[in-house]
Amino acid sequence: MLERIKPLLPYLGIVAFFILITFAYFSPVLEGRGLPQMDNTKAIGMAKELVDHEKETGERSMWTNSLFSGMPAYQIRGDSSANLFSYVNRYSRLGLPYTTVAIVFLYLVGFFILMRSMGFNHWLSVIGSVAFAFGSYNFIIIIAGHITKAYVIALMAPVVAGILYTYNKNKWGGALFTTVALGANIAYNHVQITYYLALLVMVLVIDRLVRAIKQNDLREFMHRTGLLVIAAVLAVLPNMTNLWTTWEYGQESIRGRSLLAEEKTEQRQRGLDPDYAFAWSYGKAETLTLLIPNFMGGASEPIGLKPELLDGIEDRISEEMISRGYNLGEQHGQFVGQLANEVAQQSQYWGSKPFTSGPVYAGAIVFFLFILGLFIYRGKEKWWLLAGTILSILLAWGKNLEWFNMLMFNYFPLYNKFRTVEMALVIASLTIPVMAILTLREVFNNPQIIREKSNQFLAAFGLSGGVALFFYLFPGILSYMNEFEMSSLMSQQASNPDQAFIYDILMREMQNARMALLKADAFRSLVFVALASASLWFFSGNKISAKYVIPGILILILVDLWGVDKRYLNNDDFVPARQMRALYTPNEADRIILEDDDPHFRVFNLRNPFNEVHTSYFHKSIGGYHGAKLQRYQDVIDYHLGDYMRQLSMSVQQSRNTEFIRPLLSHMPVLNMLNAKYIVAHPEMAPVLNPYAKGNAWLVENIHTVGSTLEELQAIASVDLADNAVVHMDFADILEQKTIGSGGGHIELIKERLDYLQYLSNTDSPTFAVFSEIYYTGGWRAFINGEEVPIIRANYLLRGLFVPAGNNTIEFRFEPVSYRYGKLISYISSILILLLVGLFFWKRDKFRTPNQEIID
C-alpha cells in the first residue's frame, strides 16, 4: 500500500505548496474578509431576479425582466445541470474560495499539468507554474471580477497539455484528457478566451502538420489529429445547452447582424462595430510592459496616489512662475497649489487605451529566459510558441495595426464578435513562460551552452536587461503624453496664449511623474534580469550548484511577479464580511417603489442607466449592464432612450425639483410604451410617478405599416402609440389576413412568471393588442384560448397579437428549442463520455501506444 502511495507524495506536496502560497497571497480570506469585484458584483445584481425565481419555483428560467426591459438569461445565469464538465469544474476547485483562492490554485495546477505533459521534472514544472500563474493580467482580472474569464485562462494550459500528449505520447489517453480539459474550459462559458485558445491550437497543429510533411509521417499525424477532432466534438456536446442558446441569442444581439446599419451603409453588417471592438487596443510601444510593468504608467489611477511622484512640485511650479514674472502676491501660493493639485489628478497611465486596470507583465526574468530561448533552444516546440506569441501581440495591437486586424475582423470566422482585443495577450502569457522553462531545462541539461553561445547570451541580456537599462538612462526619449492629452493641452494653449506657460508647466510635471514611474520599474527589471543572468552564468562555470540555482530562480520569479501583482490586488482591497453582504442596500427611492402592490412595471434610473445593475437588483429595469444586449434595444437607446435620459437629467439639474420632469414624460412615447412607471432622479429622493406609462398591454385601433428598419425606429417617436401600432412590412402576410374593428374592450395581465405570462381580454370586435414585452424570436410562443398564434413585432421591439372578439385567455410561454434540445444533447453526451472514461481505464493496457520523445 505504501509503495503505491509513495509516487504520489511529491504531487501531494506540490498541491499543498500551491494552496499554501495562494492562501498566503489572499490571506485576508482567512480572516473572513471579502473582495469586492466590480463585474462579479454586477453579475450578482443581474442574476438576483433569476436566483429568487429558482428559490420560489425550484426551476430555472432562461428569461429575465430585470434589465433592458427583458432579455434571455443565457449569459447571466445559464443552466449547466446536464453538463458533466460543470461538475468536473466544481470538484477541481476543492471547495476553495471561488472568486479568489480557487482561481490562482487552478492557474498553478493547470500549468503544472502542461509542464509535466512536456516531460519537465517537478522543480521546473513548479517554476513554470509560478511564472504563469502570477503574471499580472491573471490578477488584474480577479480584482475586476472577470471570474469566468480567469477560470478559462486557468484551463488553457491543460488543453494544450492534452494536445501535446496526443501528438507526442499516448494518443488515446491524450485525446481523452483533451476532451475533459477542453470541455471544462468551455463550460466556464467565456467564449472569447476559448477562441484565443483555439487560435493557439491552430498554430500548434499547423506546426505539427509541417513537421509531419517533412518527416513523411502524414498518416500518423492525420490519425492523431482525427482523434483530437473527435475529442473537440465530445468536449462541445455536453456544453451544448450554453453554446446553442448563446449562438441563437448572438444573432439578435449587438454582436450579430444590424439591419439598421445595413440600411445605412448598404452593406451586410455582421458583428460589432470596429471602433467598439478595437477600443481597448494595446499600443505597439506598450508591449514593453511585458518586460517593464510601468512602461506606460501602470493603471489609470491619479498621480496623486503616489505622493513621492509630487515631491517638490509646488516649489518647482512657484520658481518657474516667478522666473517668468508671474508673482500673484497673496494668491500666489493658492494658485500654485491648484496647479499641483491638477497634476495630482491626472492619470498615471498614458497609453492608447481609454483607461486600464494595469499592464500585462510577464516578468523580467521570464521575459529574459524567453528571449534567451529564441537563441539557444532548438527543440521542436520553439516555432509554434514563437508564432503564437507574435500572433498574440499582433491581435492585441488592434487599431494600432489596422491593416492586419481589419483583415481578421472582416474575414476570419467569428473574430468580429469580440471586443477588448488586448485580451489576445493571454496567448503570450502562456507561450512566454513555456519557452522560458524550455530554456531553463536546456541550460540545466547542458550548462556549457551558456559559455559556448556567449554572444547569444549577451544578446538576450541586451534585449531584456539592456532595454531596461536604456530606458533607465534615457527616459527622455519618450513623450509620456497620449494623443488626447497632447491635443487637449495644445488647444488650451492656443485659446489662452497669455497663460500658455501654465500648460507647459502642467505638461512637464505630468511627464516628470510618469518618467519617474518608468525609471523605477526599468531599474527594477534590470536588477531581476541581472540576478537571473548572473546565476545562470556562474552555474555554467560550475561556480554555483543547480540545487541553489533552481530554487533561487523560483524565488526570484515569485518575488518579481508577486510584487507587481500586489500593486493591483492587495490586502487593502478586502473588506469585512458584513460589507460584502451589504453590497446591495435599498435606497429611499427603492423603498418607496417596493411598497407598490402592483409589481408589473418598470423603473428608469437616470443615473448611468445603461451601465448599472442596482436598479436591476430590486426592480424591473429599463436599463442595466450587459456586454451583449439585444441589437434592437441598443438601437432604441441610441435613438430615443439616451436622449430622454439627457433631457430629464438636465431638467432636474436646472430646476432642482424632480417634479418638473413629469410634464416632459408626456413627450416620451418610447419610454411610456416600455411601461416606465417610476423615474428615479436621485437615490435618496422620492421617485417620480409617470402617469403616461402605458401599462402591461393595450389595444390599438390602427396599424401603421413601414417599409424599412429606420422608418420603424423613427415612427415610434412620431406616431400616437396609444391608438396605433407600428409594424414592419416583414409581417405583411399576417396583416393581409387580419382586420381589426373599432369596438371597445380591455386587456389585463393576471399572471406573471419570468417565462410565462397570462392575460384576459374582452373586446366587442377583433382587435390588435400591443404588449409591453420585448420581442424575441428565439423561444417565445403565444397562445389564445390554447391555440398557438403568430407573434408580431410591434413598435420596433415589443410583441403584438391579433385578438379575436369576446373573452379570451392569452398566454406567452418562453420555450426555446435550443435550450430544451441542447439540454438533452448535454445529458446524452455526458453519459457517453463517462462510459468512454470507464472503458479507457478498464482497457487501458490496450490503449497504450509507443511513447515518443516529448521534447527534442
Whole-number Å distance between alpha carbons of 53 and 76: 14
> Both 684 and 779 in a single domain?
no
How far is it between the farthest Cα atoms of the chain? Answer: 100
> Both 283 and 372 in a single domain?
yes
> Both 689 and 708 in a single domain?
no
Whole-number Å distance between alpha carbons of 227 and 179: 10
> Both 397 and 425 in a single domain?
yes
**Other Cβ atoms within 10 Å of 683 Cβ, number:** 15
Q: Give me the pLDDT at residue 811, please.
A: 97
Q: Name residues of the chain where pLDDT drops below 50.
A: 851-856
> Both 653 and 717 in a single domain?
no
Residue 568, domain extent: 279-301+347-572
Q: Looking at the domain assignment, is residue 610 inside a domain?
A: yes
**Other Cβ atoms within 10 Å of 842 Cβ, number:** 10
Domain boundary among 797, 814, 831: 814
Whole-number Å distance between alpha carbons of 586 and 582: 10
Q: Which three cell numbers stand for residue 721?
A: 402609440
Q: Looking at the domain assignment, is residue 760 inside a domain?
A: yes
Cα distances (angstroms) measured from residue 667 to each of 127, 691, 765: 65, 12, 30
Q: Looking at the domain assignment, is residue 60 inside a domain?
A: yes
Q: Looking at the domain assignment, is residue 195 inside a domain?
A: no
> Both 283 and 308 in a single domain?
no
Q: How far is CA 145 from the centre of its chain?
A: 9
Whole-number Å distance between alpha carbons of 744 and 407: 58
Q: What are phi and psi of 569, to 5 degrees?
A: -145, 105
> Both 625 and 553 in a single domain?
no
DSSP class per residue in 799-852: EEEEE-SEEEEEEEEE--HHHHHHHHHHHHHHHHHHHHHHHHHHSTTTT-----
Whole-number Å distance between alpha carbons of 636 and 260: 11
Instruction: Give the N- to C-terminal CA distance of the chain in Å, as an integer.
Output: 36
Whole-number Å distance between alpha carbons of 501 and 507: 10
Q: Which three cell numbers stand for residue 725?
A: 401600432
Whole-number Å distance between alpha carbons of 540 and 38: 48
Whole-number Å distance between alpha carbons of 311 and 294: 19
Q: Looking at the domain assignment, is residue 113 inside a domain?
A: no
Q: Which residue has the cell 511513447?
A: 851
Q: Looking at the domain assignment, is residue 112 inside a domain?
A: no
> Both 463 and 506 in a single domain?
yes
> Both 642 and 713 in a single domain?
no
C-alpha Rg value of the chain to the nearest Å: 31
Domain total in the chain: 4
Helix (H) or strand (E) holding 698: strand 697-700
> Both 410 and 436 in a single domain?
yes
- Interhelix angle 454-461/364-376, rounded to 10 degrees, is 150
Q: Give me the pLDDT at residue 267, please.
A: 63
Q: What are phi and psi of 662, to 5 degrees?
A: -60, -45
For 789, the 3-state DSSP assignment is: strand
Helix (H) or strand (E) holding 677: strand 676-680
Whole-number Å distance between alpha carbons of 514 and 508: 10
Pairing between β-strand 745-753 and β-strand 756-763 as defined by DSSP bridges: antiparallel
Q: Which three cell numbers stand for residue 458?
A: 549577451
> Both 489 and 356 in a single domain?
yes
CB-count burial class (<10 Å; 0-12, 13-18, 19+) for 134: buried
Residue 799 bridge partners (DSSP):
771, 793
> Both 655 and 757 in a single domain?
no
Given a contact cutoff of 8 angstroms between Cβ atoms, the answer to whether 432 and 389 are in contact is yes
- Interhelix angle 136-144/425-445, rounded to 10 degrees, is 150
DSSP class per residue in 405-441: HHHHHHHSTTGGG---GGGGHHHHHHHHHHHHHHHHH
Whole-number Å distance between alpha carbons of 709 and 750: 33
CB-count burial class (<10 Å; 0-12, 13-18, 19+) for 526: buried
Whole-number Å distance between alpha carbons of 485 and 297: 14
Pairing between β-strand 702-706 and β-strand 745-753 as defined by DSSP bridges: unpaired
Q: Give me the pLDDT at residue 261, please.
A: 74
Q: Looking at the domain assignment, is residue 181 inside a domain?
A: no
Domain boundary among 572, 593, 621: 572
Given a contact cutoff of 8 angstroms between Cβ atoms, the answer to whether 68 and 630 are in contact is yes
Q: Looking at the domain assignment, is residue 330 inside a domain?
A: yes
Domain boundary among 572, 599, 621: 572
Whole-number Å distance between alpha carbons of 58 and 45: 20
**Torsion, CA 756, CA 723, CA 806, CA 790, rounded to 10:** -50
741: left (phi over 0), alpha (psi -120 to 50) or beta: beta
